[in-house]
Amino acid sequence: MVEVQHLSKTFGADTVVLKDINLHVKKNEVVAILGPSGTGKSTLLRCLNYLCEPTSGIIRVGNVTVDASKHTRREVRNLRRQSAMVFQNYNLFKNKTAKQNVMEALLTVQKKSRSEAEEIALKLLDKVGMLDRKDFYPSKMSGGQQQRVGIARAMAVNSDVLLFDEPTSALDPELVGEVLNTIKTLAEENATMILVTHEVRFARNVASRVIFMEDGQIAADGTPEEIIDHPDNPRLQRFLNFITN
Amino acid sequence: MCRANVLSVARNNLQRRSVRSWIMIFFVFVLAVALFLGTVLASSMRAGLDKTVNRLGADVMVVPKEYERDMADALFLGEMCDFTFDRDWIAPITQIDGIAAVSPQLYMESLAASCCSAQTQLIAFDPDTDFIITSWLADDDIPMPKRGEMIIGHDIEPETPGEIDFFDQPYKVVGQLEKTGTNYDVCVFMTYETAQDIMSSDKWYEVFRENPDASQLISSLTIRTEEGVDPKDVARTINFHLADNCPIAAYTTNGIMSGAMDTVVSMTGYSTVLLVMIGLLVVAALVCIFTITINERAREFGILAALGIHGKTLSGIVLSEGLLIGATGGVLGSAFSVAILLIFGNSFATVMELPKLNKEPLYLLIVGLICVALSVLISLAASLYAAGKVNRHHLDTLIRGEEL
C-alpha cells in the first residue's frame, strides 16, 4: 500500500532530518511511529503526501509513484489524493460548521452533488460521534470534538491511507480518550493508517506494527510486542522509560 | 474544481469577510467614479468645443480688441456679452483679398426681469450677408424671420407657445432650432430690424438710458475665407491693414477658442494624472489587503491543497476574488456616477461652466462598461501578486500558516 525507498530530507544546507528511510506498509496495517522530538517522525509523515517535499527518494502510495528527483505537479497531486492527513491542530475551516468542513472536500475535490456530499458527511460525523454537533462551528467545539471532525474530513476523501500527525498532542488529557477511541474504531474497520504519536499505550493496543525513529532513521521496526514490550534498542528503552514514567 | 465552484468559493470568502471586502470594493468604487466622471466631463468639454467651432462656421472673426476671450466665453461657456463696434469697419475689411463672405452679428443681453421671458443672449444677423444662421435655418427647414419675428434655440421654452417677450414687447416665434449641444441652444436669433425695435423700446431706454441705432452696431464680424486661403493669413492681413489705434482686431476662430482648448487640454492632462495616481493608490491598497489576507488565510489554502485542490485553482480563487471585487466596485461606481450625472448633471455643468454634459444612454453605457472593465483589470492586477504567492509557496508553508 505504501512503499518508501531511500527517502531523505534535508532542510537548508546541512540539516538532515531524514536519512535513507526505507519502509513498506501493507494494506490494512496500522503503523505507529514513535520517537523523541526532532527525530523526523512528522517530517516522514508529511513527506508521504508531499506536504513536505523530500530531498530524494521514491514514494509509492496505492498505484501512484513519485520520485523526488523527477516529479511533476500532477504526480504529486495524484499522490496526495491517495492519502488524507489528520493534523495535530485540527486545521478545520473556522468559518464552516462541522458538516460543512466534512462536505468541503467532497464538493471541491470529488465534485459530488451537495445532497450526496451532505449524506456522506452526516454518515461520517455519525461514525466519529459528532452527528449531534453537525451544525456547530469549530469555535463552539472542544479540541477533541474538532479533532474528530478532522478525522471525519480526512475519511471523506475516501483515500487509501490515513495519516495522523500527533492527533492528540494538542488536546487536554481528558479529551485524548475520545479521539483515540475514534481512531481505534477505524483501525478495527481495517483502515490503513500511519500514526505519529506519543501515546505508547494506545500504540500498543491499536497498532499492528510500531516503528521507532531516532536521528532521522528507523531505529527499530516490529510488532507492538517486539518494540514496546521487549525493546532491545537501548535508546528505545530509554525513550519508553521516559514516556511511561 | 470547476470555474463555477471557484467563483462560488471566492464569493463565499468575500461574504465571510464582509467588512474587508466592502473596503476593497470601496477603493475600486472610488476609482470607477473618478474614471467615469473624469471621462464624461472631459469628453463633454471637448465635444462642446468641437461642436461650437463646427457650428460657428466662420474662419475668422473680427471683434473689439482684447474681447476675444469674452467672445470665446460667450461661444463656449454661454456667458453673455454685449460689446459692439461701428459698422463702418465692414467696408475696408471686405476689400481685403482672400475673403469670400463677411457678415455682421450683434449681441444683446435680455434681462432676468419680468420684462423678458428669459435672460439669454439675443443675436441679430443680416439675412442678406449671413452665411451661418441662414444655413442652420435651411437645415432645420425654418423660414427666415421677418421684422418682429424670432428664432429660438432648442432649450428656450416660451411661456406662451409661439410668442416670446423681450423688454416688454411680444415677438412671434417662427421656429425653434434643433438641439446642437452648444450654447446656441439657449440663444434667440433675429434680424437687425427686430434688434432695432428692441433697442428703440421704452424699456430698453429705461434700463440703459439710451436708444442706440442697432443698424450701426456690430459685435462681431464673421468672415469666411476663400477656398485654399489660410484663415491665419487673412486675420494677419486684416490686422496689418487696420491702424494700430483702431478698436478692433481679427482672430481666427480656432485662435479665439484656443484659450478654451488649452484649458480642456490641460484639464484632461491633470485629470489623467489624477486618475493614474488614484489607480496606483487603489492597486497599492488592494495589493496590501490581498497580501495581508492571504497571509492570514495561508493555513486555509494549505488545507484546501492538502485535500487535493490544484495550486492553480487556489490562485484562481484569489483571482476570482479580485474579479468579483473589481466587477462589484466598477458596476457600483459606474451606476453611482450615472445617477449623479442624471440628478446633478445640470449643476455640474453650471459649476464647471460646461455648455452641455453628454448624458446619452448609449454613451453612458459604453463609458460604464469601459470603467467596469478597467476596474476589473486593476483589481485583477492587484490580486495577481497574492495569487502567484499562493500558487508558488510550498504546501507545508501554507499549512503551518507561515507568512508568505
Residue B398: per-residue pLDDT: 64
A162: left (phi over 0), alpha (psi -120 to 50) or beta: beta
User: In this model, does residue B41 exceed pLDDT 90?
Assistant: no
Exposure string over B367-383, b if 16+ CB within 10 A, otherwise e: bbeebbebbbebbbebb
Inter-chain touch A80–B308, beta carbons under 8 Å: yes
Inter-chain touch A108–B310, beta carbons under 8 Å: no
Min Cα–Cα distance to chain A from B394, Å: 8
Count how many pairs of residues, chain A against chain B, have C-beta atoms within 8 Å. 50
Question: Best interface-test mutation with A: which of B13, B307, B393 has the largest number of A CBs within 10 A?
Answer: B307
Are B34 and B278 in contact by the 8 Å Cβ rule? The answer is yes
The phi, psi pair for A68, rounded to 5°, reads -60, -25
As a whole number of angstroms, the distance between CA A211 and CA A29 comes to: 12
User: In this model, does residue A17 exceed pLDDT 90?
Assistant: yes
- Answer CATH for A2-82+160-244 from 2.40.50.100, 3.40.718.10, 3.40.50.300, 3.40.605.10: 3.40.50.300
Min Cα–Cα distance to chain B from A241, Å: 32
Inter-chain touch A109–B396, beta carbons under 8 Å: no
Are A49 and A80 in contact by the 8 Å Cβ rule? The answer is yes
Instruction: Write out chain A residues lying below 8 Å of B302, CB-based.
Output: 91
Which amino acid is present at B63? V
As a whole number of angstroms, the distance between CA A93 and CA A102 comes to: 10
ipTM score assigned to the predicted complex: 0.72
Give me the residue spans of the domains in chain A.
2-82+160-244, 93-158
Closest CA to A183 of A225, A224, A213, A154: A154
List, in sequence order, every beta strand (DSSP E) within B248-294: 248-252
DSSP string of A49-91, one letter each residue = TTSS--SEEEEEETTEEEETTS--HHHHHHHHTTEEEE-TT--
User: In this model, does residue B241 exceed pLDDT 60?
Assistant: yes
A111 to chain B, any CB pair closer than 8 A? The answer is yes
State which residue of chain A sits closest to B1, comparing Cα positions: A108
User: In this model, does residue A216 exceed pLDDT 80?
Assistant: yes
State which residue of chain A sits closest to B307, comparing Cα positions: A105
Binned at pLDDT 50, 70 and 90, residue A131 comes out as very high
Parallel, antiparallel or unpaired: strands B217-218 and A64-67: unpaired
Which amino acid is present at A185? T
A104 to chain B, any CB pair closer than 8 A? The answer is yes
Residue A138: per-residue pLDDT: 92
Chain B contacts in chain A segment 54-73 (CB below 8 A): 73
Min Cα–Cα distance to chain A from B24, Å: 20
Q: What is the pLDDT of residues B274-330, one digit of tens each?
A: 888 988 998 899 999 888 888 888 877 888 777 777 778 888 888 999 999 999 999
A208 to chain B, any CB pair closer than 8 A? The answer is no
Instruction: Write out chain A residues lying below 8 Å of B15, CB-based.
Output: none
A11 to chain B, any CB pair closer than 8 A? The answer is no
Instruction: Write out chain B residues lying below 8 Å of A108, CB-based.
Output: 1, 5, 9, 304, 307, 309
Burial of B350 (0-12, 13-18, 19+ CB in 10 A): exposed
User: In this model, does residue B240 exceed pLDDT 80?
Assistant: yes
Q: What is the pLDDT of residues A52-104, one digit of tens each?
A: 889 999 999 988 999 999 988 888 888 888 888 888 888 888 888 999 999 98
Residue B27: per-residue pLDDT: 93
DSSP string of B173-228, one letter each residue = EEEEPPP-SSGGGGEEEEEHHHHHHHHTSHHHHHHHS----GGGEESEEEEEEPTT
| β partners of residue A100 | none
Parallel, antiparallel or unpaired: strands A209-214 and A56-61: unpaired
The number of helix segments (H) and strand segments (E) in chain B equals: 13, 11
Min Cα–Cα distance to chain A from B5, Å: 7
A49's grid cell:
503526501
B100's grid cell:
469670400
Residues of B with CB under 8 A from a CB of A: 1-2, 5, 9, 16, 299-300, 302-311, 394-396, 399
**Mean pLDDT on A169-189:** 83
As a whole number of angstroms, the distance between CA B10 and CA B8 comes to: 5
Reduced to 3 states, what is the DSSP secondary structure of residue B104? strand
Inter-chain touch B309–A157, beta carbons under 8 Å: no
| Those residues with Cβ within 8 angstroms of residue B77's Cβ, 6 or more apart along the chain or in another chain | B183, B260, B353, B354, B355
Min Cα–Cα distance to chain B from A155, Å: 11
A105 to chain B, any CB pair closer than 8 A? The answer is yes
Binned at pLDDT 50, 70 and 90, residue A195 comes out as very high
Min Cα–Cα distance to chain A from B396, Å: 5
Handedness of CA A191, A197, A203, A208 (dihedral sign): positive
**Mean pLDDT on B17-46:** 90
Question: Best interface-test mutation with B: which of A46, A50, A51, A77 has the largest number of B CBs within 10 A?
Answer: A51
As a whole number of angstroms, the distance between CA A234 and CA A47 comes to: 28
State which residue of chain A sits closest to B4, comparing Cα positions: A108
Inter-chain touch B303–A80, beta carbons under 8 Å: no
Which amino acid is present at B287? V
Question: Mean pLDDT score of chain A, rounded to an integer?
Answer: 89
